[in-house]
Amino acid sequence: MSTIPIHAPQRLLRFRAADGFLISALLVTNASSSPADMLQIPILLQVPGMIGHFLARGTPRLLPHALLAHGFHSLSINTRLASAGQMTSHGIFDDTIHDLDAAIELLVQQGFQKIFLLGYSLGASMVVHWAAHRQHPRVRGLILEGVGFSLPDSHRTRWEKWGSSPTYTEVYERAKAILGADPYHAPDDEVFVVYQASGSSREPIHSEIYTYKTWWFMIGPEAHQAMTHRHIATVTVPVLLLRGAHDELVESWEPEALARIVHAAGRANIRVRQIPGAGHDCMENPEAMVQEIVQMMSERPAAFDDEENGNKSAR
Amino acid sequence: MDVEDSSGTVVSFAFDQHQVDALLYHPLTARAHMEQKPAILRLHGILGNLLDETEHDLPAVLAAAGYSCLTMNTLLANLGLFFGFGIFDDAMAQIAAGCQFLRQLGFEQIVVAGHGLGGCMAIRYGALVSDSATPSDIMGIIAVATPYSMPETIRRRWGRFGSEPSYDEVYRRAQRLFKPRPEERATHDEIIAIKRARGDTARPEHTDIYTLKTWWALAGPEAEGAEVYRHIGQIRLPLLLVHGAQDDLIERSEFAALSRLASQSGNPHVTAIELDANHTFDGKHEELGQRMIRWLTERYG
């Protein structure tokens, strides 16, 4: 039986986004330094993925402790899309910007000087969405783990691959009928289940659950804010894209294509790293994953300097 | 910005190849405290978890009075009912592991408490412990807003709102999984969304989600583990039943019937109280906590 606590030292916090949504968060800090020095240590704001939360297995659960071992702090938040959020009408992708706003405001209020944002899978799309619309001098970089080129396209492709029931088109038509001309303010909404969404059976492991409203803003063909490729060029801080070399959900071309978009916009502050021995969850190879993040969060990320000098890393 | 700092600590303990998460409040280490005051093992309601509002406020009230609390995420927490692994009866071994965790921390007395579905689990666990020949350190059971029978409560609610599909239709589908007729091909587990299950619209807040397996174990007509009336009379421990007078999910008659069954079974330590509260005791956690503290103090000091 393991000893307590899961992360030490930790603080379980609750605070509200501007629109009133209640956010739970776990703050894990390196308390070995003086209070003044502590605030100079970089902190990672971690945003979990689909139906995830800050205690979910894999990256959300493991990364804070791994980073603490390297001296870094972290704040892991449950956004409105955490856990069952996408099965309730309030889990609107576009509104997650308020959750990240609030988390950053909290970190700034606490005095942290160097903030990095890490999003995992769906969380990575949220992070890009935030950074495309916001800038804050204390936000120093983004780490995007398992991010797709476009969340809607990834899902449509996957549903078609497995012959989902209902099909993507059927859901779209039904969503239009239920939500009408103004989906965000639509009074009606319903839960629906998509069978064979991520595998060949109708069993729960291959099924997905949404409401039409949450699907519309996250997966639907008009979910423009969740289309990472549309926004990443406007991100001004350095970006690290991490993909597990065996990721079955995000294909290898996707992070490369995102990086090309940024390069085409005249910026070199983005790099892609494939994590060997890992699937969608890069913490399946914690050493390689943490090494990349530690390098990113350190004062001078050498690989970025190399790339900025035109010497793209060989790794 | 207002930031609320929980005095609880997120902990985990191993169970059956995975980790169970829990929130531990007021982890006192004084030996005398652990010997004299029971720790409260708290169990969440449907779709609940250790961050729930009910789980958030009440432990703080109890901890302030010196009662340490461990609120654990069972198999039925979060999305357990939605994805097939949240089987009611399987949670009993998890609760036992939670008790074992408290023992390893040094607590020598434990009271198991639950709300709604958690109340069903607490009573089922209390009956199992009472039925065992092995002496137990489980000293009492607290069940808040607990239905007479979870399957019956759900069937009645679905019938009241005209659910789609109906209770009988879901039962027939589940029978194909668990008891297929000779001419039927056995089916596999799958997710089911029941509209108009808890209100008169098809909106998400009125929709229930299960898989056929989790429904069978919690809400089906053969879900004996969740039929509280079958088990409450077996409890030989001090038992506190709490009902909210404004509860729109659990009727007062259910609370009265459970209280009667418990008392008539020969258990001399049954206490039943009613507060002016809704099902989730919104705004009433302080009052609920104080009533619990009074009950605990009268029995355990």
> Could you read off the pLDDT of B260-294 as tens digits, one per residue?
999 999 999 999 999 999 999 999 999 999 999 99
Task: Identify whether residues B188 and B285 lie together within a single domain.
Answer: no
Residue B2 domain-assigned?
no
Average pLDDT for B139-168 = 97
Mutate to test the interface with A, among B44, B52, B207 (most CBs of A within 10 A): B207
Contact A191 B188 (CB under 8 A): no
Neighbours of B90 (CB within 10 A): 16
pLDDT of residue B300: 85
pLDDT higher than threshold 90 for residue B135: no
Supply the range of the domain harboring residue A239.
10-150+227-308
For residue B290, give the CATH number of its domain. 3.40.50.1820
Contact B195 A13 (CB under 8 A): no
d(CA A2, CA A65) in angstroms, rounded, equals 15
Contact B78 A188 (CB under 8 A): no
Task: Identify whether residues A141 and A201 lie together within a single domain.
Answer: no
> Could you read off the pLDDT of A74-109 as tens digits, one per residue?
999 999 999 999 999 899 999 999 999 999 999 999
Average pLDDT for B51-68 = 82
| Residue B131: exposure state from Cβ atoms within 10 A (0-12, 13-18, ≥19) | exposed
> Could you read off the pLDDT of B209-243 as tens digits, one per residue?
999 999 999 999 999 999 999 999 999 999 999 99
Q: Would you call A109 an interface residue with chain B, using a CB distance cutoff of 8 Å?
A: yes
Task: Identify whether residues B73 and B176 lie together within a single domain.
Answer: no
d(CA A205, CA B84) in angstroms, rounded, equals 8
> Could you read off the pLDDT of A57-81 as tens digits, one per residue?
899 989 999 999 999 999 999 999 9
Task: Identify whether residues B78 and B213 lie together within a single domain.
Answer: no
Helix (H) or strand (E) segment spanning residue B12? strand B9-15
Three-state DSSP state, B48: coil
Helix (H) or strand (E) segment spanning residue B173? helix B167-178
CA closest to A27 among chain B residues: B5
CA closest to A179 among chain B residues: B203
pLDDT higher than threshold 70 for residue A314: no
Task: Identify whether residues B115 and B182 lie together within a single domain.
Answer: no
Q: Which residues of B touch A207 (CB under 8 A)?
A: 190-191
Tokens read off for B1: 């910005």
Contact A13 B3 (CB under 8 A): yes
Angle, helices B91-105 vs B117-131, to 10°: value is: 80
pLDDT of residue B45: 85
Q: Would you call A83 an interface residue with chain B, using a CB distance cutoff of 8 Å?
A: yes
A–B interface: beta-carbon pairs under 8 A: 120
pLDDT band per the 50, 70, 90 thresholds, residue A302? very low
Chain A closest CA to B161's CA: distance in Å? Answer: 16
pLDDT of residue B6: 81
pLDDT of residue A30: 84
Task: Identify whether residues A78 and A126 lie together within a single domain.
Answer: yes
pLDDT of residue B58: 87
Q: Measure Cα distances from A149 to A124, A128, A154, A231 in Å.
A: 11, 11, 8, 10
Task: Identify whether residues B75 and B93 lie together within a single domain.
Answer: yes
pLDDT band per the 50, 70, 90 thresholds, residue B133? confident
> Omega before B165 cis (within 30°)?
yes
Contact A152, A223 (CB under 8 A): yes
Task: Identify whether residues A183 and A202 lie together within a single domain.
Answer: yes
pLDDT higher than threshold 90 for residue A9: no
pLDDT band per the 50, 70, 90 thresholds, residue A312? very low
Angle, helices B167-178 vs B150-161, to 10°: value is: 130
Q: Which residues of A touch B56 (CB under 8 A)?
A: 14
Please tell me which of A238-252, B22-36, B76-90, B123-137 the model is most confident about, judged by mean pLDDT. A238-252
Q: Would you call B164 an interface residue with chain A, using a CB distance cutoff of 8 Å?
A: no
pLDDT of residue A305: 46
Mutate to test the interface with B, among A7, A10, A190 (most CBs of B within 10 A): A190
pLDDT higher than threshold 50 for residue A15: yes
Task: Identify whether residues B194 and B138 lie together within a single domain.
Answer: no
Task: Identify whether residues A29 and A127 lie together within a single domain.
Answer: yes
Contact B190 A88 (CB under 8 A): no
pLDDT of residue A299: 63
Mutate to test the interface with B, among A4, A53, A74 (most CBs of B within 10 A): A4
Q: Which residues of B touch A99 (CB under 8 A)?
A: none
Q: Would you call B4 an interface residue with chain A, using a CB distance cutoff of 8 Å?
A: yes
> Could you read off the pLDDT of A195-230 as tens digits, one per residue?
999 999 999 999 999 999 999 999 999 999 999 999
| Sequence-separated (6 or more) residues with CB below 8 Å from residue B183 | none
Task: Identify whether residues A199 and A237 lie together within a single domain.
Answer: no
pLDDT of residue A284: 96
Give chain A's end-to-end CA distance (angstroms, integer): 40
pLDDT of residue A5: 63
> Could you read off the pLDDT of A162-186 as tens digits, one per residue?
999 999 999 999 999 999 999 999 9
Task: Identify whether residues B108 and B246 lie together within a single domain.
Answer: yes
Contact B203 A89 (CB under 8 A): yes
For residue A295, give the CATH number of its domain. 3.40.50.1820
Task: Identify whether residues B76 and B189 lie together within a single domain.
Answer: no
Task: Identify whether residues B33 and B143 lie together within a single domain.
Answer: yes
Average pLDDT for B108-134 = 93
Closest to B186 in 3D by CA, of B197, B195, B174:
B174
- The count of structural domains within chain A is 2
pLDDT of residue A310: 42
Task: Identify whether residues B72 and B97 lie together within a single domain.
Answer: yes
Q: Would you call B3 an interface residue with chain A, using a CB distance cutoff of 8 Å?
A: yes
Measure CB to CB from residue A13 to each of B4, B14, B205 and give the nearest one.
B4
Query: Would the ipTM clear 0.85, i.e. be above it?
Result: yes
Residue B38 domain-assigned?
yes
Contact B2 A209 (CB under 8 A): no
